Amino acid sequence: MFDNLSEKLDKALHVLKGHGQITEINVAETTKEVRRALLDADVNFKIAKEFTNRVKEKALGQDVLTTLQPGQLMVKIVKDELTQLMGGETEGINLSGTPSIILMSGLQGSGKTTFSGKLANYLNTKKGKKPLLVACDVYRPAAIDQLHVVGDQIGIEVYSDRENNDPVAIAQAGVAHAKANGHNVVIIDTAGRLAVDEKMMTEISNIRDAIKPQETLFVVDAMTGQDAVNTAKAFNDVLNFDGVILTKLDGDTRGGAAISIKSVVDKPIKFIGTGEKMEAIDVFHPSRMADRILGMGDVISLVERAQEQFDEEEARKIQKKIAKNKFGFDDFLNQIQQIKKMGNIKDLMGMIPGAGKALKGLDIDDDAFKHIEAIIHSMTPDERSTPSKLNASRKKRIAKGSGRTIQEVNQLLKQFDQMSKMMKMMQGGGGKKMMQMMGGMKGMKP
């Protein structure tokens, strides 16, 4: 996500890094490269020009020209302007109604039905709501079936009426069903549009007028770039929607839609889709996204994801096991599962400041832990709880059972042993011991 843009902005700003003073020529050269980077990311030319003009105006202020580290201040100016361009403040979702009605709109193939499920799952698991999904796409083959499959996957009820071809009547019946059955959120999945079609736009306008939703959200595929912004403008002229959902931000997207959509339609981006799993949904934070675009990472989001998976009781049990030297492969497997629940591995690594540049060109498989899990699952329960029992013949059996080599089994055992020792060291007055150990290794006093 945004890899090419991040790299080009870094090169543009590199001109100023390390310089004790900035000249007007340097500023002009840098802003020109920034504008070029934005245009390459498929940002609208007018928006890119206005953005760099604002950056140049602020950069030519006396504070920047006389500062000791002008390069850093220039990065801050670009970051602040990027944040404002993408919306400035984080916008939440309006759940004021009883029930709260959310109308989903967008083109076909934008990921609208899947995102309806993700949003329902998010509101259920994170906000404690009881959502109802309503299938109003009566045109696309298997659209109703798709929503039912998504609903079954996340344990959310889906309302549909296969005998009715009137989306307005289905939406109204869905809201009535929600009221009668205690659902406090209704998510209406409407038919996608192949293009901005007058008949279809009239239909969705009629649905909106009939159910009066608290939120009308426009779902857009981030990979379509500038075209997504133009489509959003056409929909907004008719629907006057409340917010934008950007899907497929984990794909090979240039980022133009995320950067320029707010300034074109003057509506905030509320959520982003970051993967195929139902949990791959994030609230859109403009300042955090600006940090990531500039290669500064997103530590806050990383910590939030970790906290969601953190189980205090489980952590206490693990601490006791480490203290008694009983930390086994079953516990290690549980830790891996918690990391996997946090999301796409490459996406998580990208949240670490500076890691994006280090990971450039590396193909990190989302199933990076698969071979480790295969080796562990090929062990007996006794071997998992007592790894010291693993002799040569057992290792050979595990390697055959997991489809890996004996060398890979030995490597995992070695890494597990090192990790167990380090965890115990950190727990038992460990910081000092670790410093002593490191000091001994380097021939230094701790």
Average pLDDT on 320-333 reads 76
Q: Confidence class of residue 102 from pLDDT cuts 50, 70 and 90?
A: very high
What's the pLDDT at 444? 39
First to last CA, the chain: 42
Pairing mode of beta strands 131-136, 281-283: unpaired
Question: To 10 degrees, what angle do helices 70-85 and 256-265 make?
Answer: 60
Better pLDDT: 271 or 424: 271
- Tell me if the domain spanning 100-295 has CATH number 3.20.20.70: no
Helix, strand, or coil (residue 298): coil
pLDDT beyond 50 at 97: yes
Distance, in Å, from the CA atom of 111 to the CA atom of 217, rounded to the nearest integer, reads 13
pLDDT score of 255:
63
Domain range annotation of the chain: 3-86, 100-295, 304-441
Tell me the average pLDDT across 167-171.
91
- Arithmetic mean of pLDDT, 286-291: 78
Asked if residue 225 lies in contact with residue 152, where contact means CB atoms within 8 angstroms, the answer is: no
Class of 3-86 in CATH: mainly alpha
Whether CATH 3.50.50.60 fits 304-441: no
Instruction: Give the CA angle between residues 7, 12, 18 to the nearest 5°.
Output: 105
Point out the annotated binding site for GTP: 106-113, 189-193, 247-250
Instruction: Look at 9-23, 108-122, 267-281 and tell me which has the smallest mean pLDDT.
Output: 9-23
- Residue 214, SS3? coil
pTM of this structure? 0.65
Helix axes 299-309, 329-341, angle to 10 degrees: 130
Residue 250 and residue 347 in contact, taking contact as beta carbons nearer than 8 Å? yes
